[in-house]
């Protein structure tokens, strides 16, 4: 029994020793550290570029926007980058350059990728004499290069529309939000535009303009967008509901033939004023579940703690099925600032970029929820190890069936040379996350970064086992020999 106990102790020591490698690539879940696989940063970091302000993934290609989250003419034009997964290594493959970028255009504020086509929003770009009308740019992969193939502008755009504040591409369909657009004299009601592409994705034509049928002043229709199959979800976070100002709502549009028609309006069942329901939206690829963030919602009487809402499809209607709240949420966390649901509706990730961690204000957190049948349970709380004030980890989040990605645009560069350069945390395969509960009800999560360390550890364990076994056998042989000698004597 003692030998078995020693063996287990040795295994634990070995595991702890090898698990200590790569602590700089460490993240915490429910106060327990686990390793994540990649921290991505641009090859050309600089001060205040906010890399990770927008993110999008398609297959093994990741697109990342880097721009200040507001428009000032002295700010340089933003940036966008492409990373590709090669044998479990994510490498920067391209920096996307635009032909007419100018200071303060906000290029990279929004980004979306589908297969080999990327659309990048520049909502503060000037169009002729129209200041901050906004643009969007299309890039297509050609061999190993990514080239600009189109520049999109609303055919009825005006100054201050912020066209490109949100973008979403799915196949040969692009939807672009213009949340500050005036509609028939109604200021900042907002709208969204549909563009259809040709077969090779080099030519795009505006085919429809989407407007809420009950729109009002300062709704900001088009603030957030998500698309799956023939369903488009559009957030209107500043819409008034009755006497509740800025409570927010979300529209569902259904494609019928070549047209997109408004089919339903979603409102939080417990909504209050200034909660901004619809600030972020996500629909699963199987079109079975919608996730909507309300980052300034009251939760447990805490102002701006934030909530997120699950809607599930029942026949032709979408019904609210659950309200998600962070178990450790505090006031001003802004839980729900960004939301994402996996394509198979198994996982949800929700950002709370203004959450305090220890004494670090606005360090930020991200929360993972898992679908257990028809109910979602919070399983992990993610925070950065060695995080700092103002990291804003969780500003952007994306989760697929395999990848989890969290943007931290306020982080300094790894060498400390550049402030607020930004980075992105990427977990390569969430199926490698193993969960075990301890007596303190905390959760330990270990992400296996590569196969080699695991094989090495197993090899060491087996070596220790056989060495001990051989030593025991030798001891038994020596013991037997001694007895025989005694008997002979």
Sorted by where each begins, the domain ranges of the chain are 1-34+451-489, 35-450
> Contact 350/409 with Cβ under 8 angstroms?
no
How would you write the pLDDT of the chain (489 residues) with one tens digit per residue?
A: 444 444 444 444 443 433 333 333 455 555 444 445 689 999 999 999 999 999 999 999 999 999 876 666 666 779 999 999 988 889 999 999 898 888 889 999 999 999 999 999 999 999 999 999 999 999 999 999 999 999 999 999 999 999 999 999 999 999 999 999 999 999 999 999 999 999 999 999 999 999 999 999 999 999 999 999 999 999 999 999 999 999 999 999 999 999 999 999 999 999 999 999 999 999 999 899 999 999 999 998 889 999 999 999 988 899 999 999 999 999 999 999 999 999 888 899 999 999 999 999 999 999 999 999 879 999 989 998 789 999 999 999 999 877 889 999 999 998 889 999 999 998 866 654 433 222 223 332 323 333 334 444 444 444 444 444 444 444 444 443 333 333 322
pLDDT score recorded for residue 416: 86
- The count of other CB atoms within 10 Å of the CB of residue 276 is 26
Phi, psi of 467 (to 5 degrees): -60, -45
- The count of other CB atoms within 10 Å of the CB of residue 426 is 21
CA 71 – CA 64 distance, rounded (Å): 19
- The count of other CB atoms within 10 Å of the CB of residue 225 is 24
> In CATH, what class is 35-450?
mainly beta
pLDDT score recorded for residue 103: 87
pLDDT score recorded for residue 460: 45
pLDDT score recorded for residue 386: 83
CA 248 – CA 239 distance, rounded (Å): 4
Length of the chain: 489
In this prediction the pTM is 0.83
CA 96 – CA 111 distance, rounded (Å): 11
Question: What token pair was written down for 333?
Answer: 């966390």
H-assigned helices in 255-388: none
In sequence order, which residues have a C-beta less than 8 Å from that of residue 1 and are 6 or more positions away? Answer: none
pLDDT score recorded for residue 469: 45
Q: Classify the phi-psi angles of 257: left when phi > 0, otherwise alpha if psi is within -120 to 50, otherwise beta.
A: left
- The count of other CB atoms within 10 Å of the CB of residue 117 is 24
Annotate 347-366 with DSSP letters as a single string. Answer: EEEEEETT--BTTBTT--EE
Q: Measured on CA atoms in the order 223, 160, 352, 78, is the torsion positive or negative?
A: positive
| β pairing state of 51-58 and 61-66 | antiparallel
pLDDT score recorded for residue 30: 52
Question: What token pair was written down for 119?
Answer: 């659309």
- The count of other CB atoms within 10 Å of the CB of residue 363 is 25
Nearest to 338 by CA among 327, 326, 354, 349: 349
Phi, psi of 186 (to 5 degrees): -90, 115
* The 61-66 sheet, strands edge to edge: 51-58, 61-66, 79-86, 89-95
> Contact 191/219 with Cβ under 8 angstroms?
no
Phi, psi of 151 (to 5 degrees): -130, 120
pLDDT score recorded for residue 403: 82
CA 421 – CA 43 distance, rounded (Å): 11
């Amino acid at each position: 029994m003692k030998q078995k106990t020693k063996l287990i102790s040795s295994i634990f020591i070995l595991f702890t020793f090898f698990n200590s490698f790569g602590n700089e690539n460490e993240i915490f879940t429910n106060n327990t550290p686990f390793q994540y696989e990649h921290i991505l940063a641009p090859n050309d970091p600089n001060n205040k570029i906010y890399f990770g302000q927008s993110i999008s993934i398609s297959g093994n290609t990741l697109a990342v926007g880097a721009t200040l989250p507001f428009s000032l003419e002295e700010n340089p034009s933003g940036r966008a980058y492409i990373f590709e997964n090669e044998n479990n290594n994510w490498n920067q493959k391209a920096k996307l350059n635009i032909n007419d970028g100018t200071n303060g255009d906000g290029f990279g504020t929004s980004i979306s990728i589908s297969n080999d086509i990327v659309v990048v929003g520049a909502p503060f770009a000037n169009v002729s004499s129209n200041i901050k009308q906004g643009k969007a740019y299309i890039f297509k992969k050609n061999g190993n290069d990514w080239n600009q193939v189109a520049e999109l502008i609303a055919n009825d755009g005006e100054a201050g529309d912020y066209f490109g504040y949100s973008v979403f591409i799915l196949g040969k369909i692009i939807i672009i939000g213009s949340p500050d657009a005036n509609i028939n004299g109604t200021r900042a009601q907002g709208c969204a535009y549909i563009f259809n592409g040709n077969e090779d994705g080099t030519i795009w034509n505006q085919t429809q303009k989407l407007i809420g049928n009950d729109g009002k002043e300062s709704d900001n229709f088009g603030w957030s967008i998500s698309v799956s199959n023939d369903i488009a979800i559009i957030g209107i976070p500043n819409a008034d509901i009755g006497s509740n100002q800025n409570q927010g709502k979300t529209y569902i549009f259904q494609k019928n033939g070549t047209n997109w028609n408004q089919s339903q309006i979603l409102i939080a069942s417990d909504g209050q004023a200034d909660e901004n329901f619809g600030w972020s939206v996500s629909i699963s690829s199987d079109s079975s579940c919608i996730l909507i963030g309300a980052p300034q919602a009251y939760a447990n009487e805490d102002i701006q703690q934030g909530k997120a809402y699950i809607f599930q499809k029942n026949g032709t209607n979408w019904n609210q099925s659950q309200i998600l709240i962070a178990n450790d949420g505090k006031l001003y966390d802004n839980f729900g600032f960004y939301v994402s649901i996996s394509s198979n509706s198994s996982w949800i990730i929700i950002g709370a970029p203004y959450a305090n961690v220890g004494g670090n204000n606005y360090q930020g957190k991200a929360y993972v929820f898992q679908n257990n049948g028809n109910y979602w349970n919070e399983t992990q709380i993610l925070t950065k190890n060695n995080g700092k004030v103002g990291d804003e980890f969780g500003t952007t989040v994306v989760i697929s069936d395999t990848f989890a990605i969290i943007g931290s645009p306020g982080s300094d560069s790894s060498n400390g040379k550049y402030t607020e350069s930004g980075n992105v945390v990427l977990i390569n395969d969430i199926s490698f996350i193993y969960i075990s509960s301890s007596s303190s009800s905390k959760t330990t999560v270990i992400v296996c970064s590569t196969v080699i360390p695991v094989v090495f550890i197993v090899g060491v364990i087996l070596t220790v086992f056989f060495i001990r076994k051989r030593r025991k056998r030798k001891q038994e042989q020596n013991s037997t020999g001694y007895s025989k000698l005694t008997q002979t004597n």
